[in-house]
Chains A and B, each alone.
Chain A
């Protein structure tokens, strides 16, 4: 947060610069300030609101997107750092109305309740499955350790990842 008058005035007057972002396969040229974060560019400038702003300080993972294939916290990433990068958000997962297998698995295994962590969780999981198509529990834990979920207890999310990667899922209810 900017504290003094001079600092905030300087920030307001800082010149904008143009960055090129390829979001979900579409290139945009955006005029951004040095302080503009990637999540602001995605949500406020491009208008894709599927990426969620929760803690805005890098502690919850809700804003996770993929930048050149790697999961990043878009609230801590500056838009200017992403000039020329390919960014993928939750809106890029389905093909039209057709959900991808990971999205299907999230719905089949109770990985979604309130949905606010879901976008970030899906993006972290997507990055994991792309580099490790059959992740074990340790790999799943490692990949999703930065994504908080307060609704599901993570049980449904782990089940969904196992199912999406073709691994057996244990029944837990009678």
Chain B
């Protein structure tokens, strides 16, 4: 069957490609409305302070200033990344009473042009009473630490500043450790990193005729609409998020941001369009970054490397509000339990308020840190037991048809197959340990390492489901209405391929209208790794629905039963007698004439895990998570200069299971991008913060990979699923799950090259040199002992 596919499974060109290489593609900053005002935000200069007084009168009096707002001009409605009974909304759109991080939004204004707006900001007087601040989450947890917010009512009473906890266990870990032949404990830490999207955060809002029109750089308009409508106290029908292309997000543009609210509110007050663009410095020093997790892991294994028990304690430095901090401690459990069988597990995660900026998801949302920790320890265990890194992983990796502790199923996914293919293609076992055994001449050492990961694909978070509408045109071409947003991943292309395949029309016959909350149906958004599966299946259904209507119209006209007809290349013909045929144009005309004017519109809806009421519990992990686990094994080859300590990724191999690639070239693009982002994590990137102030708020000092750091990136797709026209399909995640195994692999490869085992990222030259010196010292000490 698969060979008959014409569009699905092919590396077709991006649908949005021509617009993007000609400069026609419209991003939020490119939308121009007459009379637009410039909006600016006044931010806190303190990490923790009480606001004693705000006086905006001098700013208001400045000619050219049209409106100034503080929290007193809002409805006081709170919002949160998570809004559940356990974790109610906790953040106001502008600071009320106190500020909890440097850069927190205190006031906003709109003026006729940028210089006036800037001058007006400087005329706002704010009197602060500075409070003691705390930045280290383990300090913040201690009783008596400066209180940023009261601890969650269900948190252990002795601990301060706890935003939330996740606790879960199965089996009996203590008995498991007692029954283990080898037990070890390690602690791993990660640096603060940021998304590095090229398009700045920007919003244009225009309140006109009781309607709020919004253009904003986001990862899904329907979430933004719901949150904006809530905090503005407007019905959702009064808020329209328009389509724009999005210049990179990587997790950093999901949640509601204060500037989005402020642009809207200022427009409602002035009746004029208001645009707020964040400067790169603001993005670096006041916006949301990823979550630095600390992981303490105790693991017990049998002599042959079989995992018996694991105890994990995760502490998240969550910043000044709850943000996605309580999600990442749930996810850290999830990314622990998928790849390997762990018979006895005890997990506890703490999300701790500190006086850092609020946290957002970043591609992988905790998985890079979790996999770095577990895969590093796996290699240490293997070495202690005298087992190679492949064998120990194969012994514990999950196979197909396994039930997971949360009731999920691996279906046809098989991590063992990914590991086997990765081992074979990379020749890891032949290369492993080579430079440590017989160091080559010169200062360059080469090392190889493996890391595995697994990721969920789509889960139940608002709005939980996607709908797609396919409208046929007179000539047999189609218009697709989808709420899906193309943030670069290629959603418009993938959806077009599915519609073209199901409907038997060409790619050019499919035109997409997307991501507009008024004209397109609801969509889950591009942030829970489920768009190809959820929205794609909705598109498949919608196109299938239109195809069935076409066939029925043709069956009537041709006088043959519909099941005997086939539709392809805009022609409907009889299976056995191709002479009996009619064009789509004729079938549509017949439908309009004879079927009550039906112009043929197909509808499709999809929701993952239809029998599950909601997302699993963030507190207890109970409940099903996803029906599509994607497994991967990745191999890194690195070079380390032992004179300078500098390390670089030379080559990456990614073996992954995305189910079935709808567009292999787009999948490849996701692989390459994640390898690049991971090497930034491994060797380059860190947001440096001192006392709450960002020290490197620009790309000269926060170094992201440039073309000089580009690594060779190969991949192999272990295809486990099929696509058949008219049948539901199961694709798996590919946009963020492949950033973690490769990070772990780089850590293991640095060890393989040098013998230096690092327990924290980044693997900086300083840390590697220190490790080398320490090894040298240990060697000398040993020699002295022998001599003595």
Q: Which A49-92 residues sit within 8 Å CB-CB of chain B?
A: 49-57, 59-60, 62, 89-91
Fill in one digit per residue for B25-49: 1 if any A CB lies within 8 Å of its CB, else 0.
1110110100000000000000000
Q: How far is the CA of A57 from the CA of B30 in the complex (A)?
A: 19
Q: How far is the CA of A117 from the CA of B676 in the complex (A)?
A: 15
Given A173-B715, A173-B717, A174-B716, residue A154 in contact with residue B710 (CB < 8 A): yes
Partner of A11, one of B19, B115, B672, B707: B115
Q: What is the size category of the interface that chain A forms with chain B?
A: 35 or more
Q: How far is the CA of A103 from the CA of B708 in the complex (A)?
A: 22
Q: Are A107 and B21 in contact (CB under 8 A)?
A: yes
- Shortest CB-to-CB span from B712 to chain A, Å, is 8
- Of B13, B24, B707, B716, most buried by chain A (CB within 10 Å of CB) is B707
Q: How far is the CA of A51 from the CA of B23 in the complex (A)?
A: 7
Q: Are A156 and B669 in contact (CB under 8 A)?
A: yes
Chain A residues near B195 (CB-CB < 8 A): 150
Given A145-B706, A173-B714, A174-B717, residue A114 in contact with residue B115 (CB < 8 A): no
- A19 CB-CB contact with B under 8 Å: no
- Shortest CB-to-CB span from B417 to chain A, Å, is 14
Q: Are B705 and A153 in contact (CB under 8 A)?
A: yes
Q: How far is the CA of A158 from the CA of B711 in the complex (A)?
A: 11
Q: What residue of chain A has the Cβ atom nearest to residue B119's Cβ? A: A8
Given A108-B13, A110-B665, residue A52 in contact with residue B21 (CB < 8 A): no
Fill in one digit per residue for B10-26: 1 if any A CB lies within 8 Å of its CB, else 0.
00011011111111111
Q: How far is the CA of A21 from the CA of B19 in the complex (A)?
A: 25
Q: Are B669 and A2 in contact (CB under 8 A)?
A: no
- Shortest CB-to-CB span from A131 to chain B, Å, is 18
Chain A residues near B707 (CB-CB < 8 A): 140-141, 144-145, 147, 154, 157-158
Chain A residues near B29 (CB-CB < 8 A): 49, 52-53
- B302 CB-CB contact with A under 8 Å: no
- B200 CB-CB contact with A under 8 Å: yes
- B248 CB-CB contact with A under 8 Å: yes
Chain A residues near B727 (CB-CB < 8 A): none
- A37 CB-CB contact with B under 8 Å: no
Q: Are A152 and B22 in contact (CB under 8 A)?
A: no
Q: How far is the CA of A157 from the CA of B705 in the complex (A)?
A: 14
Partner of A49, one of B23, B248, B711: B23
- B704 CB-CB contact with A under 8 Å: yes
- Of B118, B196, B710, most buried by chain A (CB within 10 Å of CB) is B710
Chain B residues near A26 (CB-CB < 8 A): none
- B693 CB-CB contact with A under 8 Å: no
Q: How far is the CA of A94 from the CA of B22 in the complex (A)?
A: 7
Partner of A91, one of B22, B280, B490: B22
Chain B residues near A116 (CB-CB < 8 A): 27, 197-199, 247-248
Q: How far is the CA of A83 from the CA of B95 in the complex (A)?
A: 46
Q: How far is the CA of A60 from the CA of B674 in the complex (A)?
A: 19
Fill in one digit per residue for B303-341: 1 if any A CB lies within 8 Å of its CB, else 0.
000000000000000000000000000000000000000
Q: Are B672 and A103 in contact (CB under 8 A)?
A: no
- Shortest CB-to-CB span from B401 to chain A, Å, is 25
Q: How far is the CA of A139 from the CA of B715 in the complex (A)?
A: 26
Q: How far is the CA of A124 from the CA of B200 in the complex (A)?
A: 21
Partner of A90, one of B21, B27, B247, B716: B21
Chain B residues near A151 (CB-CB < 8 A): 248, 488, 669, 673
- B1 CB-CB contact with A under 8 Å: no
Q: How far is the CA of A119 from the CA of B22 in the complex (A)?
A: 8
Partner of A99, one of B21, B487, B710: B21
The 7 A-B residue pairs with the shortest CB-CB distance in the complex, in nearest-first order: A50-B23, A116-B247, A114-B488, A153-B676, A115-B20, A113-B488, A49-B30
Can you name 19 A-B residue pairings with CB atoms under 8 Å? A12-B115, A54-B247, A55-B280, A60-B699, A99-B18, A112-B17, A113-B673, A114-B199, A114-B247, A115-B16, A116-B248, A153-B673, A153-B674, A153-B710, A154-B706, A154-B707, A155-B713, A158-B707, A172-B715
Given contacts A119-B23, A154-B710, 4 further A-B contacts (CB under 8 A): A43-B30, A89-B23, A110-B665, A115-B247
